[in-house]
Amino acid sequence: MVIEPLSDGGYLLGGNSQSGVSGDKTEINIAGTNDIWILKLDELGNIIRQNTIGGAGTDYLSALLPIDGGGCIIGAQSDSPISADKLEASWGGYDYWIFELDEFGNIIWQNTIGGDQNEYLGSICKTDDGGYLLVGDSNSGITGDKSEPSVLGDYWIVKIDSIGNIIWDNTIGGLSSDVYARGIMANDSGYLIGGVSLSGIGMDKTQPQIGTYDYWIVKLTTDGDIVWDKTIGGGNFDYFTTIINTNDNNYIVGGYSNSGISGNKTEASHCYEDYWILKINELGNIVWQKTIGGWGNEYLREIIQTNDNGFALIGASNSLASFEKTEDLIGLGTSPDYWVVRLAPNSCYSAIEVCNGLDDDCNGIIDDSFIYTTYFADMDGDGFGDLENTISECAGFPPTGYVIDSTDCNDINLLIYPGALELCNGFDDNCNILIDEGLALYTFYVDGDEDSFGDAGTSITLCNPLLPCGYTTDSTDCNVDNMDVFPGAIELCNSIDDNCNGSIDEGFTIFVYFLDNDEDGFGDPDISISTCLLPAPEGYVMDNTDCDDNNFLIHTPIIYYTDADGDLYGDPFAPVMLCELTAPAGFSANNLDCNDAEFLINPGSNEVCNGIDDNCNVEIDEGLSLYILYADLDSDGYGDVNNDTISCLANITGFANDSTDCDDTNPFIYPGATEN
């Protein structure tokens, strides 16, 4: 059963029920054998509302977490099919069954999470991102929602968002059973998981088994990756049940134990099972521990830190008054009673300093007067230890699985250690940093095309003379991907060095072919291939006279003439050869221009009276009216009959149409002048 206080002074109760409508129960038992029963109580214990929730199978409450708004998150384990309140079928056996209730007890969402075997939910905690962490154990393979297989039962951690969707899952365990897991948010970041382990070193477990059952604590990142793990226990039976955060940013781990002084346990059990609680720091190291009980059995279930930083331990006991138990058993026979123990806010519970990694006598010094020795893990049992895997102990002798030596170079192979016989196996058997030294070596070359000739650039060297598959002792192949190419092969006309002599197609007549990109039968002189093939390969020709191999309409250059004045007539003295079908800008197909510097002078121009051959017909001012003009040197309007010129202009300065001047040097002498 779970009881959670609420902000309004009331309480939220959760448990299991097989009852129908009777007593305080107002709802029938659903078709299954066991249902979840949730009650809301006021501060005086009166029932405000209740809900019976389940399917046609068996449904057990595991966790109850109040949330803002008056609702709660319920965590259960269920084997029910789709029926009644259950909207998803069981994956197989028991699954995690997670759902949210609103303030009135209505289901908002739900998710059945599991694999093909059994999953047992231990706890739920709210995460910083608004989602939830589900912690329990599983023995399912990779099925359903499980992404990793279990061995014989492993911790199974599932991260979900605020509406139950899976973000990630992680299966954590060793080579045997690791079960009954519970989890909390870590003080710094990530999560702290605790449970019961029967495993030794292997898989996720890095420390050896101590007793039959041990506490196993695992620190995870927010993404579920393991940061560290700690195995805590004595030589017998140590059963983890709970873990909490403390106000000083450490943790209290609790359960029950019947171990004597052994392993991590510094106080012996009184007779049978006793409460065994430990304070550990953020690295999982033990700060202090306490064994509490009577002569019978004590089973610790919950730990609460009190307002004065002490602790309340809540569980069950069937002991009479003895040892730490001050009251006799109330019930009959050996049936246990509730037993609540209040611990004062004190971090030290032992006055005698012992070799245990703790400050037992509270003098600020851990294991004072003891000498610590570093021992090295010997996982393969060959007597030689791993330098990187150490433990410091003050007991004076190495713990099981550790040795004083640190020179093993492979601690998972008992045949590899300093002084071992070096074998032909690709390993440094004797830990001298050399592999297969002192042995005869053989070099083999990759024979990828299986022609018995190998690649000199790809080889392996072995101490075993047996030829490996895919290799040869020859290194003269020039093409390891073509079994027809090898030294001594017949040279073919194929542009390949078939016989690996460094020459291609030797002994054959070589022809040069030119690319005929536009397929006009004329080739590009700048792009050619040399081959012994006849006829020419597709796309090639023997001709190399194409001036434009991208235009099948032209292959021979055409003569064009510079047209500097842009009048479409070219200069006969400035010819150029161009690979163009039509004259480009600045050129003309004709050479008729007689003046390529004047736009208006060309064969298409009209002849004008300017003393120039405008139309390039080798005549000047032809076809125009002509006038006889006489020199008028004295500018009197009368010209000299003996000094004339012919012009297409009717009037020219310095000339006159009249030819009657008798003295062209005196402006006062002309026909009609006044006689003096």
Tell me if 428 sits within 8 A of 416, measured CB to CB: yes
| Residue 446 counted as domain residue | no
Identify the three-state secondary structure at position 495: coil
Number of Cβ atoms within 10 Å of the Cβ of 628: 12
Determine the longest span between alpha carbons in the chain, in angstroms. 184
| Residue 637 counted as domain residue | yes
Phi, psi angle pair for 190, to nearest 5°: 85, -155
Both tokens of 299, joined, read: 């089973």
Tell me if 179 sits within 8 A of 196, measured CB to CB: yes
Residue in the structure block whose two tokens are 């009209």: 606
CA distances to 345, 559, 560, 579, 594 from 590, rounded to whole Å, are 115, 9, 7, 16, 12
| Residue 107 counted as domain residue | yes
Looking at 70, 94, 121, which one is the last position of a domain?
121
Find the mean pLDDT for residues 411-418.
Answer: 95
| Residue 676 counted as domain residue | yes
Looking at 121, 136, 152, which one is the last position of a domain?
121
What is the spatial order of strands in the sheet that 214-220 belongs to?
178-185, 191-197, 214-220, 226-232
Distance CA 263, CA 267 (A): 11
Q: Residue 96 belongs to a domain with what CATH number?
A: 2.40.128
Distance CA 439, CA 463 (A): 6
Say how many domains are in the chain: 2
Residue 640 is which amino acid? D
Helix or strand run (H / E) with residue 254 = strand 251-257
Tell me if 547 sits within 8 A of 520, measured CB to CB: no
Strand partners, 86: 83
CA distances to 56, 495, 602, 629, 644 from 623, rounded to whole Å, are 124, 75, 17, 18, 21
Strand partners, 64: 74
Going by DSSP bridges, is the β-strand pair 528-531/251-257 parallel, antiparallel, or unpaired? unpaired
Distance CA 17, CA 219 (A): 35
* DSSP code for 213: B
What is the spatial order of strands in the sheet that 35-41 belongs to?
2-5, 11-17, 35-41, 47-53
Its domain, for residue 667, covers: 625-676
| Residue 68 counted as domain residue | yes
Provide the percentage of residues in the chain whose pLDDT is more than 90.
Answer: 83
Both tokens of 245, joined, read: 């955060």
| Residue 57 counted as domain residue | yes
**Selection from 257, 259, 238 nearest residue 298 by Cα:** 257
| Residue 573 counted as domain residue | no
Tell me if 491 sits within 8 A of 513, measured CB to CB: no
Find the mean pLDDT for residues 417-429.
Answer: 93
Sign of the four-CA dihedral 416, 419, 422, 426: positive
Looking at 121, 144, 168, which one is the last position of a domain?
121
Structure confidence by residue, pLDDT tens digits, 12-30: 999 999 999 999 999 999 8
pLDDT of residue 360: 65
Structure confidence by residue, pLDDT tens digits, 460-495: 988 989 999 999 999 999 999 999 999 999 999 988
Identify the three-state secondary structure at position 132: strand
pLDDT band at 271 (very low <50, low <70, confident <90, very high): confident
pLDDT of residue 348: 57
pLDDT band at 349 (very low <50, low <70, confident <90, very high): low
Structure confidence by residue, pLDDT tens digits, 591-630: 999 999 999 999 999 999 988 999 999 999 888 888 899 9
* pLDDT surpassing 90 at residue 126: yes
Find the mean pLDDT for residues 277-306.
Answer: 94
Structure confidence by residue, pLDDT tens digits, 352-377: 677 766 666 667 777 777 888 999 99
* pLDDT surpassing 70 at residue 42: yes
pLDDT band at 418 (very low <50, low <70, confident <90, very high): very high
| Residue 45 counted as domain residue | yes
Instruction: Name, in order, each residue with C-beta under 8 angstroms of 364's C-beta and a sequence gap of 6 or more.
Output: none
Distance CA 641, CA 643 (A): 6
**Selection from 274, 200, 206 nearest residue 237 by Cα:** 274
**Selection from 489, 545, 498 nearest residue 518 by Cα:** 545
pLDDT of residue 151: 87
Q: What is the pTM of this model?
A: 0.56
Provide the percentage of residues in the chain whose pLDDT is more than 70.
Answer: 98
Residue 295 is which amino acid? W
Structure confidence by residue, pLDDT tens digits, 173-188: 999 999 999 999 999 8
